[in-house]
Amino acid sequence: MDTAVLGDKIVRTLKTIFDPEIPVDIYELGLIYDVFVNEDNDVKILMTLTTPNCPVAESLPQEVKEKVRSLDEVNDVELELTFDPPWTRDLMSEEAKLELGFL
């Protein structure tokens, strides 16, 4: 499978994961900074949380890894959690801002 096609499939999967406190998926919320797929279908996801002391700091990254790893085409998943740059509302998509009443 082409890495770009797999990348799109991974993004669709990420859009099924919601922050339990905010009714918007983590991709539109801007928590996913980058998704890398190499030619061996190994995946690296760079993500953040809304705050370092987020109540789902343990469970949300684990859910991301498990859902992406469950895709048949994915060989392995590495997830890097970062707070640089820190998450702000500016990282949200227009769709997420509209959904949350910020527009």
Set out the domains of the chain in order of their start, with CATH numbers: 3-99 (3.30.300.130)
Kindly report the number of other CB atoms within 10 A of residue 84's CB atom: 6
Q: pLDDT by residue (tens digit) across 62-92?
A: 999 999 999 999 999 999 999 999 999 999 9
Residues 6 or more apart from 73 whose CB is under 8 A from it?
1, 6, 9, 41
Return the percentage of the chain with pLDDT > 90, whole number.
83
Residue 1 has pLDDT above 80, yes or no: no
pLDDT tier at 37, thresholds 50, 70, 90:
very high
Q: Determine the pLDDT at residue 23.
A: 87
Residue 20 has pLDDT above 90, yes or no: no
> For the residues of 10-51, what is the DSSP string, one character each?
HHHHHTT-B-TTSSSBTTTTT-EEEEEE-TT-EEEEEE--SS
